[in-house]
Amino acid sequence: MKKSPAKKSLGHAEHTKSSETLALPGAFQRPIKITMLGAGSGFTPRLIADVINISGNRGGVIALVDIDLNRLKTMHRLIEKLFTQRGADKWTVIGSEDRRKVLKGSDYIVNCIEVSGLECVRHDNDIPARYGVDQCIGDTIGPGGLFKALRTIPVWLEVLKDAEKLCPNAIVLNYTNPMNMMCLAAGRTSSMQVVGLCHSVQGTSHVLSLRAKVPYDEMEWECAGINHLAWFTKLRHKGKDLYPLLMKQARKDLSGPPLEPAEFPDLVRKHMMLHFGAFITESSGHLSEYLPYYRKRKDLRKRYSRPRYDGESSFYVNNWPTWRKNADRERMDMLHGRKPIDWPRSWEYASWIIEAREKDSPFRIHGNVMNSEGNSGLLITNLPANGCVEVACMIDRNGVNPTRYGALPPQMAAICASNMSMFDLGAKAAIERSKEAAIHALMLDPLTSAVCGLEEIKSMTLELFEAEKKFLPGYK
């Protein structure tokens, strides 16, 4: 079994750096077509560079789709430059604002769309804050995550309907958050083969190898749960359990000045590991939003939250617009030669999935899929059958083949299930365009329900609907 690609250095789990350039054996049997939806996304340049770095590829077509014409034109020119610089003369790039014009014949669809985020991100954060719901990121769970889902999922499902008609055999690789609700809505309504891709498993597994001071390639591990809340239930080196060492470090860090990494003390993940028995995939700031324990009072935030991704209040809303502007500036710098584009292949899963399928060379990833997709029953047996889970998946000529994990330890399953109840109703609200289901979703949200009463939750939800009504057509 091939492992996920190795990486020499890393920082925080949400900030991936490049890996060594690796390759699977064999060669492609055909040229391929990849359609990038939301091509103005920061993912696009690196993902395309990864694909053309695959050994034995036979080229093909990259179709860029974005409703922002300026970003589309810039990305088109950048990808052309990338092809020229890499000598990728077997590849061509096309672009369109209308996905229907380019989807036909796609072998892979990479989804990175953003729906009205810039106009709504302030509402997503500030209205809940007035009700006492303090968010760090707020784009996958909680009020911010729910309303991003309510805006995005209706568009996403239209995309999948078009794909069913124009390229029914394509594999859809989803990078757009909120990951769980996006994949859940797809699994309940579409016949397309969809897998949700995140890099928190890769990032965290490397973090743990560094903290345990063991070579990554020698570490044995298993990980399963839901996106951003998957558990490393097995963590060994040469047969030795690594958790006693990690827990000893965590107790020291939580009882005094944090040891390492200095920039991200990661106190929430360490605290959860001590109390629940395993380390979790998402960064402490984001993870704290999935739980009722860490953000509901000022004293708890002061104790466990640190700057930036480590738990800073309103971190995402205060920085995302600037990040977007910086990304546009960086693209222009790349285009005009002021910033290099000679990246080695990264650990993002997209190119590895494409390579494994085209070469029929089995390769393991961790993907977000429906729990009922197992060939021999549920993938995680003590989580809801109609939910979305994150488990190891083997990729080969047949596409994405989820593997059965079995039962999570009950306390870990219960934490996942508490989130899945919220995701269940959030996806229902988006599919049916139901304000009532949206209200119920936030009534079940772990952080929101720890802070607000039921009347407050209803009032907050309706206030968000009113503030964002321009971007939420058809909700009743």
SS3 205: helix
Within a domain: residue 439? yes
Amino acid 256: pLDDT: 77
Amino acid 259: pLDDT: 53
Beta-carbon neighbour count of residue 67 at 10 Å?
14
| Cα separation, 419 vs 390, whole angstroms | 13
Long-range contacts of 335-339 (CB under 8 A, 24+ apart): 335/74, 335/77, 335/78, 335/81
In three-state form (DSSP H/G/I as H, E/B as E, the rest C), the secondary structure along 372-397 is: HHCCCCCCECCCCCCCEEEEEEEEEC
Which residues are designated catalytic? Answer: 199
Amino acid 25: pLDDT: 82
Instruction: Say how many domains are in the chain.
Output: 1
Amino acid 22: pLDDT: 57
CATH number for 214: 3.90.1820.10
β-sheet bridge partners, residue 370: 388
Within a domain: residue 161? no
Within a domain: residue 232? yes
Within a domain: residue 341? no
| Cα separation, 171 vs 182, whole angstroms | 15
Within a domain: residue 40? no
Please give the average pLDDT of every successive group of 10 residues along the chain, which has 476 residues: 35 32 79 97 93 96 96 96 95 98 98 90 97 97 98 98 98 98 98 96 96 96 98 98 97 77 82 98 96 97 93 95 90 93 92 97 97 87 97 97 97 98 98 98 98 98 97 96
Is residue 421 within 8 A of residue 444, CB to CB? The reply is yes
SS3 92: strand
Amino acid 215: pLDDT: 97
Amino acid 2: pLDDT: 39
Within a domain: residue 353? no
Amino acid 261: pLDDT: 52
**280 exposure class (CB count in 10 Å sphere: 0-12, 13-18, 19+):** buried
Within a domain: residue 165? no
Is residue 368 within 8 A of residue 182, CB to CB? The reply is no
Amino acid 6: pLDDT: 35
Nearest Cα to 369, choosing from 401, 417, 397, 342? 401
Which amino acid, one-letter code, is at 163? A
Beta-carbon neighbour count of residue 161 at 10 Å?
14
Q: 472 lies in which domain range?
A: 115-146+197-313+360-476
Cis peptide before 25 (omega within 30 of 0): no
Within a domain: residue 227? yes
How many residues comprise the chain? 476
| Cα separation, 431 vs 150, whole angstroms | 8
| Cα separation, 271 vs 282, whole angstroms | 13
Q: CB under 8 Å to 451, separation ≥6 — which residues?
A: 131, 132, 133, 134, 296
